[in-house]
Amino acid sequence: MWRRQQTLLRRLPPLRVVAQAPASWPACRLGRFCGSVPEKRKGKAAPLQARGMVDRFRMRAKGGDGGNGCVSLRRSRSNRQGMPDGGSGGKGGDVILECSRSIWDFSGLQHHMRGGRGGNGVSKNQIGTRGTVIHLVEGEQPSLTVNKPTRALDPWDIPSAEEHSSDLDQIVNIVAEGFDGGLSHRHIAPKHNTDGNDTVKGSSSHSEDPKYFHTCSKLQFSNSNRDVRIYSCQEGTDEKDQTESEDEEFWEDEDEFDMDEEEEEDEKEEQDVQYCVAEMTKPGQRLIIARGGKGGLGNAFVMKEMRPSKANRQEKIARLSTGQPGTESILILELKSIADVGLVGLPNAGKSTLLSALSRAQPEIADYEFTTLRPNIGSLTYEDYFSVKVADIPGLIKGAHENRGLGHAFLRHIERTKVIAYVLDLAATLNGRKGIPPWEQLHDLVTELEHYQKGMTRRPSLIVANKIDEEGAEEMYEELKRRVQGVPIFPVCAILQEGVPDLRVGLRNLMDDSDPQGVDFEENDC
Ligand SMILES: Nc1nc2c(ncn2[C@@H]2O[C@H](COP(=O)(O)OP(=O)(O)OP(=O)(O)O)[C@@H](O)[C@H]2O)c(=O)[nH]1
């Protein structure tokens, strides 16, 4: 078994952890293709992948095939004909998706996941042995108890843009709770999550059974505060040669399922995707994404339990001894932040500076556009220990919905925020700069958000009029107040942290506010 693990390890590339990773990636949305594997299309690289962060990922999972039952006779002096003693084959391994705090993004994930094949039955009534594991991260130790959340790597510990989390997130061990996402089965009912916290619930599955995880090593590719880990476990050790050849076939498909092609294929197949079939938001949640096939029956079992007639005995034994194939599914994994407040602004407006002023986050700040290439999340804690998560997403530009700039790629991270804070640069047109006036910035931002999701701008919002320290900014601020109504406007100098305490109060008020309130400004004003 050890040799086999080594073989598999060699074949799998080591998993990477993205060191400069965002802190909080709570929800993972899964979509399942109900159609067949898409036709190969060569071409452009996926834009997000090119930028380093993988927050959308397509993968194919295949449960391990069940091992074959053994046909064997034990002969003795007293029984020359022999007694059937062939053991049944082991069940193929399931491929399980697990939500974990230590995953940053999908960059360490394999596009193909396959559960191990169940071991073939052997003579003397032994069933296929249990326990071969596919490791996803090099160097992790096998664990006997994986049915609880693990904290192998705390995202807050990784030096990057995120700060130390002060909120005491409850680590809820939902542990599968009979969690059968049913993804590996024929029918999947789309799940509509309303509160962003619920998850798929279902009937019982193996994952409840501690036995099932026996000798299953959990190893993770990593992501975040809420994240996803995939591992595969197997009941039954297979016979080396047989499995290896099957594995090779599976990995060979990799070319046909190339990462570069996936993003563009997504567009083509939009109509085939069942969106949001499951959401994983709490550490420890597990989802079986492909089930291992049942093992074939050994002749000892068939003879004892089924007592086939002499006439069809051989045929029946042969038929029942074949292990069943594992199921297969193709999924899209998508990361979504669950921040409370989303900072939205044009590039260079000072969002990252503001995030670092509001919280202890230390995102990259520079005097050029698109410094922020991935969302950063900071935690804002009040005196009464009320905590608010603030997400700073890469700058939006006009036409983002037509995929200009970083496009809509990151907007999904603020899709669930309760409050939107529009960060406007008061100094964009001052001192000879050729920027956009703040009210036009706001107009562009609102337009882009509405393009992304209708009604998005109706949620509680405020405006951060940043760079009030610049010469002429006061006048711009007055003009902005005149043109924009309906939302509070906070003059701020993020760099000197001026106006930040008031802004904190304003954000808190909006968090407590139950009445939706959006930006309201005269069209002809902008
Ligand atoms: N004068 C002044 N400059 C500021 C203020 N806040 C931010 N800046 C500067 O504005 C520039 C852009 O700041 P960032 O925080 O990187 O802006 P951003 O919106 O995150 O930019 P992107 O990453 O491109 O989206 C930096 O040079 C900051 O020093 C402010 O209150 N006053």
- Is ligand 1 within 6 A of the CB of residue 26? no
pLDDT value for 339? 74
pLDDT band, very low/low/confident/very high, at 89 (cuts 50, 70, 90): confident
Q: How does pLDDT run across 421-439, given as a tens digit for each residue?
A: 999 999 999 988 888 999 9
Confidence category of residue 137, pLDDT binned at 50, 70, 90: very low
Q: Ligand 1: does its nearest atom lie under 6 Å from the Cβ of 365?
A: yes
Pocket test for ligand 1, best of 348, 370, 374, 476 (most atoms within 8 A of CB): 348
Mutate to test the pocket of ligand 1, among 20, 353, 358 (most ligand atoms within 8 A of CB): 353
Q: In the predicted model, is pLDDT for residue 162 greater than 60?
A: no
Percent share of the chain, pLDDT over 90: 14
Question: How much is the average pLDDT of 354-361?
Answer: 85
Q: For residue 429, give both structure tokens.
A: 């047109």
Cα 497 to ligand 1 centroid, rounded to whole Å: 12
Residue position matching structure tokens 């705090």: 101
The interface pTM score, or ipTM, of the predicted complex is 0.98
Which range has the worst mean pLDDT, 24-28, 119-123, 332-336, 488-492?
24-28
More confident residue, 289 or 261: 289
Residue 296 and residue 320 in contact, taking contact as beta carbons nearer than 8 Å: yes
pLDDT at 267 over 70: no
Model pLDDT, residue 301: 80
Q: How far is the CA of 341 from the centre of ligand 1 (A)?
A: 19
Label residue 32 left, alpha or beta by phi (over 0 means left) and psi (-120 to 50 means alpha). beta
Q: Is 352 in the pocket of ligand 1 (CB under 6 A)?
A: yes
Identify which of 493, 498, 447, 439 has the alpha carbon closest to the alpha carbon of residue 471: 493
Q: CA-CA distances (angstroms) from residue 395 to 48, 356, 409, 422?
A: 15, 16, 11, 11
Q: Which of 294-308, 314-328, 352-366, 391-405 is modeled with the greatest confidence?
A: 314-328
């009941």: which residue's tokens? 235
Q: Is the CB of 366 under 6 A from ligand 1?
A: yes
- 447-497 per-position pLDDT tens digit: 888 888 888 888 889 999 999 999 999 999 999 999 988 889 999 999 999
Please work out whether the CB of residue 349 comes within 6 Å of at least one atom of ligand 1.
Answer: yes
Complete domains list, the chain, with CATH: 2-13+23-31+39-268+281-336 (2.70.210.12), 341-525 (3.40.50.300)
* Euclidean distance between CA atoms 445 and 263, whole angstroms: 25
Section 315-328 average pLDDT: 83
Is residue 146 within 8 A of residue 216, CB to CB? The reply is: yes
Return the SS3 of 36: coil
Residue 32's pLDDT is 32
Query: Which band of pLDDT confidence, cut at 50, 70 and 90, is reported for residue 366?
Result: low
> In testing the pocket of ligand 1, which one of 352, 377, 396 has its CB within 8 Å of the most ligand atoms?
352
Question: Taking CA 238 as the corner, what is the angle to CA 232 and CA 239, rounded to the nearest 5 degrees?
Answer: 145
Is 345 a pocket residue for ligand 1 (Cβ < 6 Å)? yes
Give the three-class secondary structure for 206. helix
- Extract the tokens encoding 482: 């005149």
Q: Is 248 exposed, middle or buried (0-12, 13-18, 19+ CB in 10 A)?
A: exposed
Nearest CA owner, ligand 1 atom 3: 467
- The H or E element spanning position 461 is strand 461-466
**Mean pLDDT for the stretch of residues 346-355:** 90
Q: Is pLDDT of 124 > 50?
A: no
Mutation to probe ligand 1, out of 495, 496, 498, 503 (largest number of atoms < 8 A from CB): 495
Q: With a 6 A CB cut-off, is 188 part of the ligand 1 pocket?
A: no
Q: Whose C-alpha lies nearest to ligand 1, atom 21? A: 348
CA distance 81 to 73: 8
For residue 525, report the distance from its CA to the centre of ligand 1, in Å: 26
- CA-394 nearest atom, ligand 1: 25
**Ligand 1 geometric centre to CA of 350 (Å):** 3
Residues 59-84 pLDDT 10s: 787 888 888 888 877 887 887 777 77
The packing angle between helices 500-512 and 351-358, to 10°, is 80
Contact 438, 426 (CB under 8 A): yes
Q: Is the CB of 494 under 6 A from ligand 1?
A: yes
**CB of 367 closer than 6 A to ligand 1?**
yes
Report yes or no: 239 and 121 within 8 Å, Cβ to Cβ: no
Q: Quote the ligand 1 centre to 493 CA distance (angstroms).
A: 10
| Maximum average pLDDT range among 37-51, 121-135, 252-266, 409-423 | 409-423
Q: Among 291-300, 356-365, 426-435, 454-463, which stretch is predicted with the lowest mean pLDDT?
A: 356-365
**pLDDT class of 408 with cuts at 50, 70, 90:** low
- Position 359 pLDDT exceeds 70: yes
Protein residue whose Cα sits closest to atom 9 of ligand 1: 350
Sheet holding 228-233, edge to edge: 133-134, 228-233, 95-99, 286-290
Neighbours of 111 (CB within 10 A): 17
Q: How far is the CA of 484 from the centre of ligand 1 (A)?
A: 23
Residues facing residue 450 across a β-bridge: none
267 Cβ inside 6 Å of ligand 1 = no
> Torsion-angle region of residue 193: left (phi > 0), alpha (psi -120 to 50) or beta?
beta
Ligand 1 centre to CA of 197 (Å) is: 33
Whole-number CA gyration radius for the chain = 28
Distance 367 CA to ligand 1 centre (A): 6
The verdict on the CB of residue 355 being under 6 Å from ligand 1 is: no
Span from the CA of 436 to the centroid of ligand 1 (angstroms): 15
Question: If pLDDT is split at 50, 70 and 90, which confidence band does 389 have?
Answer: confident
> Quick check: 136 and 230 in contact, CB under 8 A?
yes
For residue 281, the model assigns a pLDDT of 66
Mean pLDDT of 93-107: 69
Any atom of ligand 1 within 6 Å of the Cβ of 107 = no
The better pLDDT of the pair 172, 272 is held by 272
DSSP result, 477-509: HHHHHHHEESS-EEEEBTTTTBTHHHHHHHHHH
More confident residue, 413 or 330: 330
Atom 1 of ligand 1, residue of closest alpha carbon: 467
Dist. CA 451–CA 492, nearest whole Å? 28
Looking at the predicted structure, is the pLDDT value of residue 9 above 50?
Answer: no
The per-residue pLDDT for 172 is: 25
pLDDT of residue 169: 31
C-alpha span between 457 and 517 (Å, rounded): 8
Mean of the per-residue pLDDT values of the chain: 62
Ligand 1 touching residue 498 (CB < 6 A): no
Decide if 434 contacts 388 (C-beta within 8 A): no
Quick one: which atom of ligand 1 is closest to the CA of 392? 20
Report the alpha-carbon distance of residue 2 to residue 364 in Å, rounded.
Answer: 44
Q: Which residue has the higher pLDDT, 254 or 276?
A: 276
Cα–Cα distance, 89 to 127 (Å, whole number): 6
Lowest mean pLDDT of 171-180, 267-276, 317-326, name the range. 171-180
φ and ψ of 464, to 5 deg? -105, 110
Rounded to the nearest whole angstrom, what is the distance from the C-alpha of residue 358 to the centroid of ligand 1? Answer: 14
518 Cβ partners below 8 Å, 6+ apart? 457, 458, 459, 461, 486, 487
CA angle 513, 392, 261 (to 5 degrees): 120
Tokens of 217: 């090593």
Whole-angstrom Cα distance, residue 452 to residue 374?
Answer: 18
Model confidence band, residue 205 (pLDDT cutoffs 50, 70, 90): very low
Q: Which two tokens stand for residue 220?
A: 């993770």
